[in-house]
Amino acid sequence: MKQAFSTKWKSSKAPAKQRKYRYNAPLHISRKFLASHLSPELRKKHSKRSFTLAKGDKVKVLRGQFKGRENKIERVNHKDIKVYVTGIERAKKDGSKSMYPLNPTNLMITELDLSDKKRKASLERKSGKTQSKTVASVASVSSESTAAPVSKPETATKAAATTASAEKLNKGN
């Protein structure tokens, strides 16, 4: 089996091929696998369902033996697509403790660390698009219903020409 990453690969029903795709994915693609759901409060605030995990985010474990625990992310491993959370450790045979790797799909972000300017801008940019679209659509509906006067003469002539051509089409049918 080839170990190289294929950019032409679309999808497969075979679990082995899906695992191979994830394992051999370059870092710029495997970074996207490190996304996790936002809590309902953050979802309403930012108008997003999920966001990429980063060190310093506060997360809640939703699945597994540590279910219900909530703490900050201490380390993110992009290569293995694993997250290490403070306070979630396993005891080794010699008595020492080691960090327990968690899958990002089993976590929910409860608090975002927005100290990174690019991350904050990305969140605002992506949530701003949906808010501006809704505001623009509401504004356009209200302007159509009030039928504000047209200030530019060439706009008025264009509008008259399009209505005239629409009437000709209707007469033809």
Mark residue 149 as left, alpha or beta (left: phi above 0; alpha: psi -120 to 50; beta: remaining): beta
> Whole-prediction pTM value?
0.68
Which range among 21-30, 61-70, 131-140 has the greatest average pLDDT? Answer: 61-70
pLDDT score at 51: 94
Q: Residue with structure tokens 């899906």?
A: 18
- For the stretch 109-153, pLDDT in tens is 999 999 999 999 988 887 666 555 555 555 555 555 555 555 555
- For the stretch 91-100, pLDDT in tens is 999 999 999 9
Q: Which DSSP string corresponds to the chain?
A: ---SPPSS----S-HHHHHHHHHH--HHHHGGGGEEEEPHHHHHHHT-SEEE--TT-EEEE-SSTTTT-EEEEEEEETTTTEEEEEEEEEE-TTS-EEEEEE-GGGEEEEE----SHHHHHHHHHHHHHHHHHHHHHHHHHHHHHHTPPP--HHHHHHHHHHHHHHHHHHHH-
Please give the residue that has the higher pLDDT: either 168 or 90.
90
Average pLDDT across the chain, whole number: 82
Ordered domains of the chain (ranges, CATH): 35-117 (2.30.30.30)
* pLDDT of 58 strictly over 60: yes
